[in-house]
Each structure stands twice: as structure tokens, then as C-alpha cells.
Amino acid sequence: MKQLTKEDINQEVFDLYDDYAHSKITRKEFLEKLSLYAVGAITLPALLSFISPNYTDFIVVNENDPRLNSGYISYDSPKGGGTIKGLLSMPKDAKAKLPGIIVVHENRGLNPYIEDVGRRAAIEGFISLAPDALTPLGGYPGNDDDGRAMQSKRNQQEMLEDFIAAFEYLKKHPNCNGKIGVVGFCFGGWISNMMAVKLPELKAAVPYYGRQAAAEDAKNIKSPLLLHYADLDKRVNEGWPAYEKVLKENNVAYEAHFYPNVNHGFHNNTTPRFDKAAADLSWERTIEFFNTYLKN
């Protein structure tokens, strides 16, 4: 059987997956519509397998990487979900206290990709904390479909409080110097924008293809922003002009990058929406941004 590549797949399939991943259509509707693109040698099971995440073969920094101390912790989130589990990672050879990064997951809980991103941040000389907002419901269930369904049952404002509590936990950690930023993806991009709204002491925020804060909230942002957008992501991008207007009017320091011909989720290397060139460049910019605002 022919191995599928991105070139075999219509853009409409990626758009359809985006609708499903963001709960705009049900799984039944998704499969019915997806079946229309299963033609010739491309079967529905093959198509579904291709566009689904592969967490087995694409981990960048292994959970047992000898350069890191990485393990699960729990912290209190009094206004959010009670007690929240998170993956805390830091370099083993650190000689001094480190700046911190909160890593915020997509709309499906703390899956292996986001844990990997947390470890990638630690490799770069930070102490990272990647919380699981699904903790009150039992935690990430082991697959993204169930994770999305679980996360839809939680209140978004309560989850925001969970990540604000993660900031407070990391700020007080004995290995953290108190300078903290946030990076988040999709839902986590919105959380990153909102943490910048809610936390004037946040030193840097990096939302990846995240929904923007409302104008009445955005005017309160004090921390510098580095915003990554996918050129083909019309759903999220439509909110950018109004957001940029407020940022400019309130003298918020920001950089915004639109990566050409890539889809929402382009940083996630476990799915075919991944674009290596855009992912690598955006991550280089992210680390440079954190180095500038957290290490100086």
C-alpha cells in the first residue's frame, strides 16, 4: 500500500480536521465528510491514521534524557481545579536559579507532544512546568479524542486560573529565579494571551495560533508578546487586526509572525499539519525571545 504524504491530501482535509479538533463538528460528521476524500488507493482508515497524531515516533527529547531532571509534581489551584498535576523539567547541570516557562497544552490535555515541548524548553536552560488542566477529571486519558471531550467539560476561566496558579507555583520554586514566561498552543495560545492580561509581572508570552484576548482585556497587557500564526488558519487569524489595533493603541511590545502556506498546529511534529521549516524557525524565535526577556 502506498504511504501517504502531505502532497496526497487536499487542503480541505486539513480544514475538516481543524473543524473536528475544535469541536465544530461531531466525530460522526467528521468521518462522514472525511470518507468523501477516500478515493482510489486512499482508504478511509489510511486517511484517518495519517491525519491522527503519532506520539510514538516523533518525540524530540526523551522522557529519560540524561541532561534533565524531569518528573510530575502537583500544585494547588484554589480558584481553579483544586490540585493540578504538571510535568516539571530542568537541566541537571544548572549552577544557579533558572528562569521559568509555563507550557500550556492544546484543547486536549497534557499529551506526549506538550510534555516533549516542556522538556525542549528545559534543554534550552529553563525550568519548565507543563500543567494538565484535565487533572480534576482524571488527567489526560491517553488519546486526544477523549482528551478533547473531557476538556470541553471544564470551564475555561477555571482552567485559566489553573495556569495562573502554575505561574505562582513556579515563581516560588527554589530552583526558579522568579522571571517567568509562558508559551502555549491553540487553546494554550489563548491562555498565554490571557495570562499576559492577568499577570502584570509575567515577563514574556508566546502564543502559538491562539485566540486573541478581547479588546477590553488586551489593553491591560504589560508583558511583551511574540505571536506565531499559520497563514492558512483563517479561523484564528480573523481576530488579529482588532487585537493588533489594541496592542498598538496601548503601546504593548509585540512581534507577530505569519508563516506562509502552513496550517494551524504547524509546530506539532506528531501530525501531518507539522511544517518543519516553520516549526524550527518559530521555536528559534521563541527561545531567543525568552533569552532576551527572561535571562537578561
What does the pLDDT profile of the chain (296 residues) look like in tens digits? 457 778 778 899 999 998 998 888 998 999 999 998 888 778 888 888 888 899 989 999 999 999 999 999 999 999 887 899 999 999 998 889 999 999 999 999 999 999 999 999 999 999 999 999 999 999 999 999 999 999 999 999 999 999 999 999 999 999 999 999 999 999 999 999 999 999 999 999 999 999 999 999 999 999 999 999 999 999 999 999 999 999 999 999 999 999 999 999 999 999 999 999 999 999 999 999 999 999 98
Instruction: For residues 47 and 131, state if they share a domain.
Output: no
Same structural domain, 10 and 88: no
Instruction: Map grid coordinates 478581547 to a residue.
Output: 214
Give residue for cell 497544552: 105
What strands, in cross-sheet order, belong to the sheet with 225-230?
Answer: 68-77, 82-91, 127-131, 98-104, 176-185, 204-208, 225-230, 254-259
Give φ, ψ of 17 to 5 degrees.
Answer: -65, -40
Q: Is residue 81 part of a domain?
A: yes
Asked, for residue 96, whether it belongs to a domain, the answer is: yes
Domain extent, residue 26, equals 6-51
User: Residue 60 falls within a domain, yes or no?
Assistant: no
Are residues 90 and 34 in contact, defined by beta-carbon separation less than 8 angstroms?
A: no
Co-location of 145 and 184 in the same domain: yes
State whether 36 and 157 are in the same domain: no
189 and 256 within one domain: yes
Interatomic CA distance for residues 123 and 107, integer angstroms: 25
**176, HSE (Cβ side, Cα atoms, 13 Å):** 23
pTM given for the model: 0.95
Answer yes or no: is 14 within a domain. Answer: yes
Co-location of 40 and 108 in the same domain: no
Q: How many domains does the chain have?
A: 2
Question: 141: which 3 cell numbers?
Answer: 486519558
One domain, residues 274 and 143: yes
56 located within any domain: no
Based on the fold, state whether residues 89 and 17 are members of the same structural domain. Answer: no
Grid coordinates given for 241: 487586526
Kindly state whether residues 47 and 77 are assigned to the same domain: no
* DSSP assignment letter at 58: -
Residues 251 and 120 in one domain: yes
- On whether the CB atoms of residues 102 and 132 are closer than 8 A, the answer is no
**164 and 218 housed in the same domain:** yes
